[in-house]
Amino acid sequence: MEITIRESRDVGRVIKLYEQHKGVPFTYLMNIPLVKMLSQLESFKIFLAEVNDEIVGCIHALDYVYDCGYIGGLLVHKDFRRMGIGGKLLKTALSSLRAKYVYLFVEEKNTVAINLFEKTGFKKIYRRLLYTVSVPLNNGFKLQITSEVEWEGLKNAIGFLERKGIVNFGYYPIKMTRNVFEDLKAKGKVLRCGGVIAIIENLHGLIVGDNLYTFNDYVFKHLQKVDFSRKIVEINPFYIEPEPSDLVSLINHLLTLGEVHIKTYDRDPVVIKLPLAGKIGALTMEYKGACTQYVYNGGGLLEVVDTQMYYGRKAPNQVAELFGVHFYGDLTMDAVIVNFDHPITRDKKQEDLFNPFLLYDAAIDRYPSNATVLVRAGVKD
Selected residue with higher pLDDT from 25 and 334: 25
Q: How many residues does the chain have?
A: 381
- pLDDT for position 9: 92
Task: Collapse the DSSP code of 318 into the 3-class scheme (helix H, G, I; strand E, B; otherwise coil) and give the result.
Answer: helix
In this structure, are 139 and 258 located in the same domain? Answer: yes
- Of 225, 255, 286, the position where a domain reaches its end is 286
In this structure, are 139 and 262 located in the same domain? Answer: yes
In this structure, are 197 and 341 located in the same domain? Answer: no
In this structure, are 43 and 190 located in the same domain? Answer: no
Selected residue with higher pLDDT from 359 and 66: 66
d(CA 180, CA 194): 23
- pLDDT for position 340: 62
- Residue 294's pLDDT band (cuts 50, 70, 90): very low
- Per DSSP, 274 falls in state S
Comparing CA positions, the residue from 29, 274, 34 lying closest to residue 171 is: 34
Does residue 109 form part of some domain? no
In this structure, are 241 and 344 located in the same domain? Answer: no
- Residue 207's pLDDT band (cuts 50, 70, 90): confident
Selected residue with higher pLDDT from 81 and 319: 81
Least confident of 6-15, 54-63, 136-145, 323-332: 323-332
Comparing CA positions, the residue from 352, 124, 325, 138 lying closest to residue 248 is: 138
- Residue 116's pLDDT band (cuts 50, 70, 90): very high
Query: Region 290-309: what's the mean pLDDT?
Result: 34
Does residue 266 form part of some domain? yes
In this structure, are 58 and 94 located in the same domain? Answer: yes
- Of 286, 314, 341, the position where a domain reaches its end is 286
Helix intervals (H) in 164-273: 178-186, 217-220, 244-254
Full domain range(s) for residue 331: 298-377
Q: Rounded to a whole number, what is the distance in angstroms from the first to the last CA of the chain?
A: 43
- Per DSSP, 258 falls in state S
In this structure, are 132 and 234 located in the same domain? Answer: yes
Does residue 174 form part of some domain? yes
* Model confidence at 365: pLDDT above 50: no
Selected residue with higher pLDDT from 345 and 368: 345
- pLDDT for position 208: 87
Mean pLDDT of the chain, nearest integer: 80
- pLDDT for position 312: 45
Comparing CA positions, the residue from 91, 46, 98, 90 lying closest to residue 69 is: 98
Residue pLDDT, tens place only, 311-327: 444 454 454 444 444 44
Least confident of 86-95, 269-278, 320-329: 320-329
Q: Total structural domains in the chain?
A: 3
* Model confidence at 259: pLDDT above 70: yes
- Residue 350's pLDDT band (cuts 50, 70, 90): low
d(CA 34, CA 183): 28
- pLDDT for position 309: 38
Query: Region 295-309: what's the mean pLDDT?
Result: 33
In this structure, are 138 and 275 located in the same domain? Answer: yes
- Of 258, 286, 314, the position where a domain reaches its end is 286
- pLDDT for position 20: 93
CATH code of the domain containing 69: 3.40.630.30
d(CA 29, CA 97): 24
User: CB within 8 A of 349, min separation 6: which ones?
Assistant: none
- Per DSSP, 108 falls in state T
In this structure, are 28 and 48 located in the same domain? Answer: yes
Does residue 193 form part of some domain? yes
Residue 306's Cβ-count burial label (10 Å; 0-12, 13-18, 19+) is: middle
Does residue 239 form part of some domain? yes
In this structure, are 276 and 326 located in the same domain? Answer: no
- Cβ proximity of 258 and 232 under 8 Å: yes
* Model confidence at 373: pLDDT above 60: no
Does residue 104 form part of some domain? no
- pLDDT for position 98: 81
Which phi and psi (to 5°) does residue 183 adopt? -70, -45
In this structure, are 132 and 209 located in the same domain? Answer: yes
Taking residue 126's Cβ as centre, other Cβ atoms within 10 Å add up to: 20
Selected residue with higher pLDDT from 120 and 22: 22
Query: Region 318-345: what's the mean pLDDT?
Result: 50
Does residue 292 form part of some domain? no
Query: Region 169-198: what's the mean pLDDT?
Result: 95
In this structure, are 170 and 219 located in the same domain? Answer: yes
* pTM across the whole model: 0.76
- pLDDT for position 47: 96
Does residue 113 form part of some domain? no
